[in-house]
Structure 1
Amino acid sequence: MKILQVGLGNNPGGMEAFVMNYFRELARQGVSFDFVSMYGTIAYEKEILELGGRVFYVPNIKKDYFGYIKAFRKLLSREKYDVVHVNMLSAANIVPLRLAKQAGVRKVIAHSHNASAPGIVRKLMDGVNRPRMKHYVNEKFACSEKAGRWLFGDRAFERGEVTLVANAIETDKYGFSESNRRKIREKLGISGDALVVGHVGRFQVQKNHEAILRIFHEIQRKEPAARLCLIGDGELKEQIQEQAKKAGVLDKIIFTGVCQDVERYLSAMDVFLFPSLFEGLPFTLLEAQANGLPCVISDQITGEAVLSRENVTMISLAESPEKWAKAVFKMKEAGRIEREEAARRLAEAGFDIHKEGQKLMLLYGR
C-alpha cells in the first residue's frame, strides 16, 4: 500500500508528532510513508529517511501557485498512491485534496487537527473552501470531536461521517524518570527542590505565551525560586523574550528551543501549564499526563484530552493570573500520578500507539 502524507511543516508540532508517532509504529511492520512538503525542509526529515520514508519537495503554494500544482500532479501521476492523507489545521488550502481526487487516488483523507483558524486571511480561505471539500474527499478524520465538528460541521459528525483517530503516543517513552529529572535539572542549573513550571508548544498566538508570562509573574511573587521552562520555537519567541525582560522575569525562564527528548524535560517539571486559546487535541498534554505531571489547562481544551481528573485543573481564560497561579501551587502539592497508573489510563482511553497503529492501517485499507 502506497501512502502519501501531506501537510507537515518544517517546525515540529502536534500535527507532525501525530504522523511521526504512527510512522514509527508502522515502520516496525514494514509500512512506509512518503511525504510531500512545500518548505525547504520538513520536520523530522533525518528520521523519516532512516525509517525508509521518502520526502518530495514542491514549490510553496503561496509563492508559486501554478508551480505547486504542476509538481504535485507530476508526483501523483508518477507514484500512483493508494492513499493521500492530508493533515489540516484549517481548510485554507484544499488544493492537495482536489489534485488527489483528480488523479484517481482510491482514498483521499482530510484530517482535522485543530479547532479554530488564526488570522484573517486563513479564516477567509477556510470559510470559502469548507463547502468544496466534500467533492474531493472520501474519508474525514479528526483528532477529537471538537476538531471534527469544527472542520466538517455538526451534521457530518452526527451522521457518523467523521472518524476519530487518536493522537496516540508511546506511553512508556514518556513515563516519569527520577534519573532524567536529576540530569535535566543539573543541566539547567535548577536546584532539586525548586518549583519548575513547564510548557511545550510553538511560539504562536494559539499557545498563549503572553498568558503564561502573566501567570508566571504571579508565581514568582510568591515563590522567587520558581523557574519556567518553555520548550519550542516559533515566530513569536523573540517577542515573548522581550516581554519577559520588561516584566523582570527573563532570567527566571529557560528557553530550550526545539527538543527531540521532550520526555526527559517533562520529568524535570513539577506542573505543566497550558492556557491555549484553542486546540484540536494536544499531544503535549497527553505526553505530560503520561509523565504523571499535574496540569493546569484552559477551558478551551477538549475534555477528551483530560485523562486524570484528580491532577488536571481546567480554568477559564477569563480568570485572573492570580487564580491560575493558585491552581499551579495547588496542583504542585497534588503531585504526580504513578508511572504505571498513568500508562494504564492512556491505554484505556485509546492513546496507546501500539494499538492505534493497527486501527489506522485498517482505516487505510477499508
Structure 2
Amino acid sequence: MKILIINTVPFMRNGISTVIMNYYDVLRKNNIIEFVINNEIEDDYKMHIESTGGKIYCWGSRNRKPISYSKKLRQLLKMNDYDIVYIHGNSSTLSVELFSARKLKVKKVVHAHNVVTEHPYIDRVLKKYFLKHYDLGFAASEDAGKFLFNQNDFIVIPNGIDMKHFYFDVLKRKEIREKLKITDDTKLLLQVGTFTKQKNHDFSVKLMSNIHDNKIKMIFLGEGELLNELRSKIKEKGLTNNIIFQTPSNDINGYFSAADAVILPSLWEGLPLVGLEAQASAVPLAISDTLDRRLNICDTVVTLPLKIEPWKKWIIEEITLNSERDVKKNQRDIEYAGYDINKNAHDMELYFKKISGL
C-alpha cells in the first residue's frame, strides 16, 4: 500500500509525533510511506524517515495559511496514487485535510489522540462536516474517540510501544546521574512532556516547593512554549538546584533508568505514551486521576488526586533508591493489555486493506 501520513501538530518530540514514529517503523516494512508535516520537524525524525525510504512534504504552517496548505495537499493527492491518507490530530479542524481529499478515490482515515482541543469554537463549527467525510476513525482511547467522533463508530487502536527498547540499564543510570551531579543517596523524579498547560508543570513546581529537600530532585525533560515562564517560577521559589531542565532525548530509557520515579500530573490527557514507556521500564509511576483509567496497567503505578499532600507522601514514604525492577512482568502485563506495537500495527494494516479493497 501507499500511505500518506499527515501530522497536524508540530512534528517535534510530543506524544502524537512519537506515536506516529512508532507505527511508521512497523508499517514501513511492507508499505510505501510519505508524510505531510505542519510547519516543522525534529531533525532526528527527519533523518530517520529519509534514511529509511520515507518522503516528507512541508509547506509551512497549516494554521496560518490553511487555504494555501489545502490547495497544495489536494494537488499532492491528485498527483499520487495513495491508497490511504492517514490524518492524526485532536479536533474537527481535520476537516481541512478531509476537504482537500474530497471526491478523490483515496481512503480517508482519521486518528483521534486527545480528549480536548485548543480550538473549541472551530471544532463545533466544523463538526458536522467532519463527521460525514472520513472513511474510518481510529482513536487512542475510548474517551478520545467519543470526543472527536461523537456517536459515530470508531476503532480503538491503543498507543503501542516496542518493548524491546525498555529495560533497566545500570550503566546509563550511573552515567546520567553523574552528568547531572545527582548523588547516589538522592531521590530523582522525572516528568516527561512538552511545556504546556496540559502537562501541568506548575503542579510539579508547587510539589517540589512543598517538599524542598535537597536530597529530592526532579528532571523536566521536554521543550515548549512555557519554558521561560517555568524557569522564572523555579527561580522565584529558590528551586534552581532542585529542578533540572533537559531537552528531549532519543535515550528516554536512559532517563527512566536514572530516575527513581516518574510523575504525570496532567490536567487532561487521553492515554499518554510516556506512561506506557515508564511502565515498560518498571520505574515507579504516579499519574493524576484525570488520566484514562486504562493507563493503570502494572503494579508499579499509583493514581493520585491533584492535591499536593498525596504526591508528597508517595514520594517521601513510598519511593526507594534504585530498587529492583521486574521489567519482564511489567512487559507481559502491557502486552496482555493490548499495547504491543507490532500486533497493533498489524491490526491497523488489516483495516487499511479492508477499506481499500486490497
TM-score class, shorter: over 0.9
Give the structure 1 partner of residue 278 of structure 2. Answer: 288
What is the deviation of 1:42? 5.2
Extract unaligned runs of 5+ from structure 2: none
The question of 1:139 aligning with 2:136 is answered yes
Give the structure 1 partner of residue 101 of structure 2. Answer: 100
Give the structure 1 partner of residue 338 of structure 2. Answer: 350
Q: How does 1:1-20 map to 2 (within 5 A)?
A: 1-7=1-7, 8-20=9-21
The question of 1:217 aligning with 2:209 is answered yes
1:355 partner letter: K
Closer, same or farther: CA 330–131 of 1 in aligned 2, 3 Å? farther
SS at match of 1:234: coil
The question of 1:263 aligning with 2:263 is answered no
Q: Deviations over 1:43-96 (max 9, x none)?
A: 611111111110012242333232212211111011121101110122234210
Q: In the alignment, is the contact (CA less than 8 A) between 1:86 and 1:96 conserved in 2?
A: yes
Q: In the alignment, is the contact (CA less than 8 A) between 1:293 and 1:336 conserved in 2?
A: no
What is the deviation of 1:336? 5.5
RMSD: 1.7
Q: How does 1:1-366 map to 2 (within 5 A)?
A: 1-7=1-7, 8-27=9-28, 29-41=29-41, 44-105=45-106, 107-118=107-118, 122-153=119-150, 155-156=151-152, 161-220=153-212, 223-308=213-298, 310-317=299-306, 319=307, 321-333=308-320, 335=323, 337-366=325-354
Q: In the alignment, is the contact (CA less than 8 A) between 1:217 and 1:247 conserved in 2?
A: yes
SS at match of 1:357: helix
SS at match of 1:129: helix
Distance 2:311 2:279 in 1: 19
What is the deviation of 1:40? 4.0
Distance 1:17 1:349 in 2: 20
Q: Deviations over 1:296-318 (max 9, x none)?
A: 1111100111111x32221222x
Q: In the alignment, is the contact (CA less than 8 A) between 1:289 and 1:342 conserved in 2?
A: yes
Q: In the alignment, is the contact (CA less than 8 A) between 2:94 and 2:130 conserved in 1?
A: no
Number of aligned residue pairs: give it: 351
Closer, same or farther: CA 218–32 of 1 in aligned 2, 3 Å? farther
Structure 1 length as normaliser, TM-score? 0.91
Distance 2:255 2:42 in 1: 24
Structure 2 length as normaliser, TM-score? 0.93
2:104 partner letter: A
Q: In the alignment, is the contact (CA less than 8 A) between 1:281 and 1:305 conserved in 2?
A: yes
Distance 1:300 1:171 in 2: 26
Q: Deviations over 1:83-141 (max 9, x none)?
A: 01110122234210222233231x211111001113xxx11111112222122101011
Q: In the alignment, is the contact (CA less than 8 A) between 1:59 and 1:67 conserved in 2?
A: no
Q: Deviations over 1:160-196 (max 9, x none)?
A: x110111111112122211211111112111122100
Distance 2:254 2:125 in 1: 43
What is the deviation of 1:337? 4.0
SS at match of 1:250: coil
Q: Deviations over 1:231-275 (max 9, x none)?
A: 110000110011000011012211111111111111100111111
